[in-house]
Structure 1
């Protein structure tokens, strides 16, 4: 049970990381900075992927 709580906390951090990546990507688009756009989209993709992986239900043997 304790392990699931840590996964939820890390998933919340991943959501905020993806929101920060979205913010950086939009900032890069507005001020024409291609490096910020790439890093922002990469952070967003990594954050969403981590969120999905962390909140997948565990198998019966993982309890």
Structure 2
């Protein structure tokens, strides 16, 4: 089990960034706002990558 509570909280923040990016990308697609769509996709990529990095176990996380 990962012991880094701070990393878990940061991963939760990354999930919310990803959800916001999905919202922005869909809004941009629905209302034909190209810039909003691009920023939404960028937020999705950054949020998903941050989530994976934050929950990757480190050697110091040994039980």
Instruction: Answer whether TM exceeds 0.5 for this pair.
Output: yes
Aligned equivalent of 1:26: 26
After the TM superposition, which parts of structure 1 deviate over 3 Å for at least 4 consecutive aligned residues? none
Is 1:35 aligned to 2:35, yes or no?
A: yes
CA shift for structure 1 position 51:
0.2
- Of structures 1 and 2, the one scoring higher in RCO (CA 8 A, sep 6+) is 2
Aligned residues, how many? Answer: 59
Corresponding residue for 2:11? 11
The Cα RMSD (Å) is 1.1
Q: 1:19, 1:37 → 2: CA distance?
A: 13
Match of 1:55 in 2: 55
5+ residue gaps, structure 2, are none
* TM-score, reference length from structure 2: 0.89
Question: Which structure shows the bigger proportion of residues in helix conformation?
Answer: 1
